[in-house]
Amino acid sequence: MFDDVLNRNVPKRQNGDASLAVEADATEDLGAFGWLRGVQERAIMLEIRHKDGSITARGYSWLQGADFDPSSGITLNFSGEKITIAGRNLNAEARQNVRLFAGILRHRVPWIQEADGADVLEAAKDAVVIEDVKVK
């Protein structure tokens, strides 16, 4: 019985090699944002990937409040600094039981991606699209 538990929970060696099997990345890419797959997984920071290539990151521990308004988008308050996320379908299901706003509230979203003009035009009407992110 102990051997069964051990075999299920200890990584296997590959082809007799001394290195342990590499665990697959636990983040699912949903286009506009990433989603941590494990039920117990939590992101430490929210990474904001801007369309110009720059990146902003804020610690989830500093997130004091979040608001969703269908007409203006998502507003995040990180210790007095406001981040506004504008786009479309920001609270729609990207896939079953996966919503951007709910994921941010539960620290399951490790990154968001601002779409450039071509991506906005080519995206499906029901797709989650982040058109603009402002950090103030």
Contact 55, 49 (CB under 8 A): yes
Number of structural domains the chain divides into: 1
On whether residue 38 sits in a domain, the answer given is yes
On whether residue 16 sits in a domain, the answer given is no
On whether residue 17 sits in a domain, the answer given is no
User: Hey, what are 19's tokens?
Assistant: 């290195």
Model confidence band, residue 18 (pLDDT cutoffs 50, 70, 90): very low
d(CA 44, CA 61) in angstroms, rounded, equals 7
Give strand ranges (E) for 3-136. 27-29, 34-36, 45-49, 55-59, 63-69, 73-78, 81-88, 93-95, 98-99, 111-113, 129-135
On whether residue 8 sits in a domain, the answer given is no
On whether residue 124 sits in a domain, the answer given is yes
Q: Which of 13-17, 20-24, 96-100 has the lowest mean pLDDT?
A: 20-24
On whether residue 100 sits in a domain, the answer given is yes
User: Hey, what are 109's tokens?
Assistant: 């979203």
On whether residue 15 sits in a domain, the answer given is no
| Enclosing domain of residue 39 | 25-135
C-alpha 30: how far from its chain's center? 8
pLDDT digits (tens, 9 = 90+) for 59-78: 999 999 999 999 999 999 99
